[in-house]
Amino acid sequence: MTGRVTLVGGGPGPVELLTLAAVRALADADVVLFDRLAPHDELAELAPHAELVDVGKRPGHHVVGQEGIEALMVRRALEGAHVVRLKGGDPYVFGRGGEEVLACAAAGVPVRVIPGVTSAIAVPGSVGIPVTHREVSRMVTVVSGHAPLSETELEHLAGLGSTIVILMGVSNLPSITAGLARHGLGADTPTAVIERGFAAEQRTVVTTLGAAFWDASAAGVGSPAVIVIGEVVRLADQGVATARAVLDDAASVPG
């Protein structure tokens, strides 16, 4: 009898940020295929009956390629297993979840997707940066910095007035910040780089668009990190006084 696949969003790291549905799926799994960024320290307890397979990918070191992961997932399900594909954050935010759903559908394997807490919102939140804030920012744009942005994308992004959240952006930080500045985003726009959110080694660099590359380089910031650009950064863990100042400034902006 054909088994099934459950794509599980594992959240940004801590086991506490798994959903109840994720915990239940893991408890029922026969096989768990997990990523580097998915919470995996406690998998032996969470998925006590499952074979645990690390398909983690490090930039430049593909342990098992995407096609290999899909083939393995489908094969084990066709053999009758309940396969849990545990991913970091939410499966549909730069997580290739859509491709994996399509691979299952093409093979006639039933598949279900359990959403996860995305690092795009939770990692800034963990250092006191709300990605939206009344009267400061009413938009948030989540961008992949994996490949360089085009001039058109940079132009539109710079003109949008949105909080900009960049994932996978550490290596392209200089081209992204310079590109946004070239298209008119102020060099003094508050910017934060949060490395290893929720981990003991978490580090946050609070800087400006103009200085972000130098400050992040000086601090030796590496991947994984979430980059946040926008006035909301000024609200970071500073308490009510700063929040008030940010709101006052926002209110005084003409138009």
CB of 198 to ligand SAH, least distance (A): 5
Our CB check for ligand SAH shows the closer of 90 and 231 to be 90
Q: Which is nearer to ligand SAH, 89 or 190 (CB)?
A: 89
Q: How far is the CB of 164 from ligand SAH (least distance, A)?
A: 13
Closest residue to ligand SAH using C-beta atoms: 89
Active site residues: 35, 57, 168
Rounded to whole angstroms, the Cα distance separating 83 from 156 reads: 41
Give whichever of 196 and 246 is closer to ligand SAH, judged by the CB atom: 196
Instruction: Work out how close the CB of 21 gets to ligand SAH at its nearest, in angstroms, rounded to a whole number.
Output: 16
Nearer to ligand SAH, 81 or 94 (CB): 94
Residues of this chain that bind ligand SAH (CB under 6 A): 12-13, 37, 88-90, 93-95, 118-120, 123, 167-168, 194, 196-198, 223-226
Closest CA to 167 of 219, 227, 230: 227
Distance of closest approach, residue 119 Cβ to ligand SAH, in angstroms = 3
